[in-house]
Amino acid sequence: MRTLTQQLTQYADYHRDRRNIATHFIGIPLIVLAVAVLLSRPVWTLAGLPFGLSPAWALFIAATLYYLVLDLPLGIMMAVVSALCLACGQWLAAQSTPTWLGSGVGLFVIGWVFQVIGHIAYEHRKPAFVDDLAGLVIGPLFVLAEALFGFGWRPALREAIEAQVGPTRINGARAGVHHGR
């Protein structure tokens, strides 16, 4: 299994333009929330549990366990983010079918519009998940890590990533040029 540094480095290689990363700060949370909304139906109630189980719970538990294995502190922070998304998703899923479906699909489409704009207009490179489906799970972790890096969190991790793929940039240089590789 790849380490946290390896996973984030591979994902970061597709995301060096700061404007693309900025679109991901909007797009990825919207997509994660959309998945929570759309997969919060159906709900199965099991005796002894104070909440219902849904496909969203299964997906988010599996992803959170993976995040915890990669890095305990970051995994705990992702668990908090996931819990917030699940709570919102469950609330929207409990609404009328048009509200549930409209909000879920709407969030999903808007999130992907931001992703596509970021990759086409700024990064000039396909999304990471096209080459490695793990990118779909690492994307939310990358966004959280990037936000935390902005606050000075774990500079050694950020430096290890940038040693492989270079610093982020804002310029017209075409992505696809592998920095440091």
Residue 180 lies inside a defined structural domain of this protein: no
Alpha-carbon distance of 143 to 76, in angstroms, equals: 15
With CA atoms as reference, report the closest residue to 27 among 8, 19, 74: 19
Residue 77 lies inside a defined structural domain of this protein: yes
Q: Is residue 27 within 8 Å of residue 115, measured between CB atoms? A: yes
- Decide if pLDDT at 26 tops 80: yes
3-state percent breakdown (helix, strand, coil) of the chain, nearest 5:
70, 0, 30
Residue 91 lies inside a defined structural domain of this protein: yes
What per-residue string of b and e applies to 76-96 under the rule 16 or more CB within 10 Å gives b?
ebbbebbeebbebbbebbeee
Neighbours of 151 (CB within 10 A): 7
Residue 84 lies inside a defined structural domain of this protein: yes
Q: What is the pLDDT of residue 124?
A: 87
What are the phi and psi torsion angles at 152 (to 5°)?
85, 10
pLDDT, tens digit (0-9, with 9 covering 90-100), for 134-167: 889 999 999 999 999 999 999 999 999 999 999 9
- Decide if pLDDT at 178 tops 60: no
Alpha-carbon distance of 177 to 33, in angstroms, equals: 32
- Decide if pLDDT at 13 tops 60: yes
Residue 49 lies inside a defined structural domain of this protein: no
Number of domains within the chain: 1
Q: What is the pLDDT of residue 173?
A: 52
pTM: 0.88
Residue 174 lies inside a defined structural domain of this protein: no
Residue 178 lies inside a defined structural domain of this protein: no
Residue span of the structural domain in which 24 resides: 4-43+55-165
- Decide if pLDDT at 172 tops 60: no
Longest dimension (CA), the chain: 58
